[in-house]
Chains A and B, each alone.
Chain A
Amino acid sequence: MTATASQTRAVRTYKAHSQPLWRRLLLTRETSVIALLVIVIAVALAVVPNFDSPLTVTYLLRDVAPILLIALPMTLIIITEEIDLSVASIVGLTSVMTGILTEAGWPFAAAGVTAILVGMVAGAINGFLITVVGLPSLAVTIGTLALFRGIAVGLLGTKAVTEFPEYWTDLAKDNIPGTPIPGIMVPFIVLAIAFGVLLHFTPFGRSLYAIGLNKEAAAFSGVDVGRTKFLLFLMSGTVSGFAGVYFTLLYSNARGDNATGMELSVIAAVLLGGVSIFGGRGALIGVIAGVLLIGTLGSALRLAGVTSDIINVITGVLLVLSVVSASFLAWLRRKRISAIGKKKGRSATSVDAP
């Protein structure tokens, strides 16, 4: 037993170190996404007029902030081979809650906190159905996507709440003093660091990869799979709730159909950032680069006068390419290895032949 175990480990170490350190660091999915982001920014700066104005940066970051926020827990969820399609509906629901409570005369801070709690409860409902009842997350969150959106639309109808205390709307729109960077980036960076540490530097984070690679093996090595997943969906709901409050303040608008379809943008960005839909692979830095890539591309193209439908096509093509390219590269590698094997086999037989 021990002999075989050490043998397989030796093989793996050999393979992991078969390439020099710089290649292992540079030739990853995350690096290629970041490189693509840098290229897009460089080209946009050179070609697109007004792209370098501070206002562009402000609007770009403001608009992608909800996607950036929600992408953080979504990354963790997809790494465990689950998915949460209900995030945009939670944004809509919490937005409506914020609006209704503010209109009812609650102080805004209380309304906002209650809305975030509502998001948390929504996440707990997802988590309960997925981990306790044991249903597939895809089916559950398609259901709650309709349910939460339905409650949001049902509560407000076609009305919209547009009156919010100026102090809070200003807080959502203001930049960090002296920079073109909007203030929402402060909580985002705090959360990003928290999620980054959680995912990459804690046993909890390692257990997420273990669950994504092999749920049974993770359970046998002492990971409480159910509790872990429940916590992830709870986080997803809470962060989506926060994004919902921010969304409401940013556009001074609480409506039932706020952020419709945003779940697809979030998932597209996460997958583009190198997280495998099969679970067990991905890094937060790649996801953040992925969100920024889609956002920057959209903003640059809009400034260059390209209509939003072409931007959608590009988002879709990027998404498809990002997953197909991985399969294609793996196929090429297999082909090369088998070609080398064939050549070796042939030379070996020719040597053996008299």
Chain B
Amino acid sequence: MTATVRPPTAHPVTRAAGRVFKARETGILIALILVILVATVRNPSFLFSSDGFRDLLLTPSLLMLVAVGQAIVIITRNVDLSVGSILGLTAYLTGRLFIDVPGIPLIVVFLAGMGFGAILGLINGALVAFAKVPALVITLGTLYIYRGINVAWTGSDRINASDLPADFRGLGTGQLLGIPILTIIAAIVLVVAAWYLRNLRSGREFYAIGSDPAAAHLYGLRVTRRILTAFIVSGVLSGLAGVLYAARYGTVSSGAGTGWELQAIGAAVIGGVAISGGVGSVWGAAIGAYLLLTINRALPILGIEDFWQRAVVGALIIGAIVLDRLLALRQSRKLLEAREDAQ
């Protein structure tokens, strides 16, 4: 015990560079940049036209919000399949509020959407945390329930762009210093979530719970409360994405957000968030969301019919988890060797 093991000291800059280079998120970022590069070389307007640049930032912003919430849930070794249904419900709620309450302030609509998302997330979280039932089953159930309520409420009705006030729709298309407002909102959420998970004690507890729920419980962490929080955050972010969905697209039918749950999980997994919990960051999930949707837009430019887009997404997800597995194996072999050397 007297000879404390000292990590090899290196210059801070090289160490930081090494960390950036080794981070799981870097690989996915390089892939994203490559996709953008190749698409831009083929067709310069992909990046350099004002529309192209705007789309590049704007389209994935909503998925990014949902994927950040999903990543937090997956880090606690749970999963939230109901995010698409929550998004659909809050998007319709947004439209209804503008129709039924003329002149309603925007901030109230945002709070209502996020509050409604929080309630739906709380239902998920309470069922998972108190009934001790796997999140997969519960959120599969609430996926049906929320979507069913949405369809029953909407019927064949739908929200049209003309129902929404102009300043609200302006949010969906507006820009600040050339950057879409939606992207700025999503980026703020991302930075706050990443900072919280990385630096605060309660944020680290999410990782502890995901790595080993039983140990976290024995250690005295408030597992129930953290799991509730994770689901509420996921609900709030899906709710926010729902409000912004209405702003961005203008039309909301009962099918809004269908299938987003798999895209959000896919984004998180591609970004290095392990489905078995405790590993990954919201940065990875966010970059994963950008990669997924940027590939969508790049495929037609590369001369591949966009019908193949989902196959590419699937191949990406599988490639990402195989890569993670190989990296984990190499890491554990390295640690074993290090231990043997030390002895």
Contacts and interface: CB of A to CB of B under 8 A. Distances in A.
Interface stretch (A20-28, A196-204, A223-231, A307-315): A307-315
B318 A268 contact: no
A83 B311 CA distance: 21
A150 B317 contact: no
Contact of A312 (B137, B148, B266): B148
B24 interface: no
Contact of A319 (B137, B266, B275): B137
Nearest to A330: B132
Interface centre among A145, A157, A316 (most CB of B within 10 A): A316
Given A149-B314, A154-B305, A320 B262 contact: no
Given A142-B262, A151-B311, A154-B311, 7 more contacts: A129-B318, A144-B314, A146-B313, A147-B313, A268-B140, A277-B133, A320-B145
Interface string A307-348: 111111111110110011001100000000000000000000
B306 to A, nearest CB: 9
Nearest to B276: A136
Interface in B49-67: none
B144 A313 contact: yes
Interface in A3-57: none
Contacts of B276: 136
B143 interface: yes
A307 B152 contact: yes
Given A136-B276, A316-B144, A324-B127, A143 B305 contact: no
A139 B308 contact: no
Contacts of A271: 137
Interface in B121-163: 127, 131-134, 136-138, 140-145, 147-152
A219 interface: no
B136 A148 contact: no
A317 B147 CA distance: 12
A138 interface: yes
Contact of B145 (A144, A149, A316): A316
A33 to B, nearest CB: 16
* Range for the number of chain B residues in contact with chain A: 35 or more
Nearest to A313: B148
B322 interface: yes
A135 interface: yes
A314 B148 CA distance: 9
A147 B311 contact: yes
Interface SS of chain A: helix
A314 B133 CA distance: 19
A320 B138 CA distance: 6
A187 to B, nearest CB: 28
Interface in A257-280: 264, 267-268, 271, 277-278
Contacts of A153: 307-308, 310-311
A320 B150 CA distance: 18
B314 A313 contact: no
A134 B276 CA distance: 13
Given A139-B269, A312-B144, A327 B131 contact: yes
Nearest to A159: B307
Interface of A: 83, 129, 133-136, 138-140, 142-151, 153-154, 157-158, 256, 264, 267-268, 271, 277-278, 307-317, 319-320, 323-324, 327-328
A9 to B, nearest CB: 26
Interface SS of chain B: helix
A174 B147 CA distance: 35
B223 interface: no
A192 to B, nearest CB: 24
A312 B266 CA distance: 25
Contacts of A317: 141, 145
B137 to A, nearest CB: 5
B309 interface: yes
A307 to B, nearest CB: 7
B133 A323 contact: yes
Interface centre among B137, B152, B275, B325 (most CB of A within 10 A): B137
Contacts of B35: none
B189 interface: no
A147 B137 CA distance: 23
B318 A256 contact: no
B275 A139 contact: yes
B152 A150 contact: no
Interface in B66-105: 79
B265 interface: yes
B147 A320 contact: no
A61 B221 CA distance: 50
A103 B141 CA distance: 39
Contact of A149 (B136, B149, B310, B325): B310
15 contacts: A136-B276, A144-B318, A146-B262, A146-B266, A147-B314, A149-B310, A149-B314, A153-B311, A154-B310, A158-B307, A264-B143, A271-B137, A308-B151, A313-B148, A317-B145
B322 A146 contact: no
A205 B211 CA distance: 32
B313 A150 contact: yes
Contacts of B187: none
Going nearest first, the 7 A-B pairs with the smallest beta carbon separation are: A147-B314, A150-B311, A316-B144, A150-B310, A146-B314, A313-B148, A309-B151
A339 B127 CA distance: 25
Contacts of A311: 148
Interface string B158-188: 0000000000000000000000000000000
Contacts of B150: 309
A310 B308 contact: no
B13 interface: no
Nearest to B318: A143
Given A146-B317, A316-B143, A310 B310 contact: no
Contacts of A143: 266, 269, 314-315, 317-318, 321
Contact of B265 (A140, A142, A157): A142
Interface centre among B136, B140, B151 (most CB of A within 10 A): B140
B112 interface: no
Contacts of B302: none
A260 to B, nearest CB: 9
Contacts of B142: 316, 320
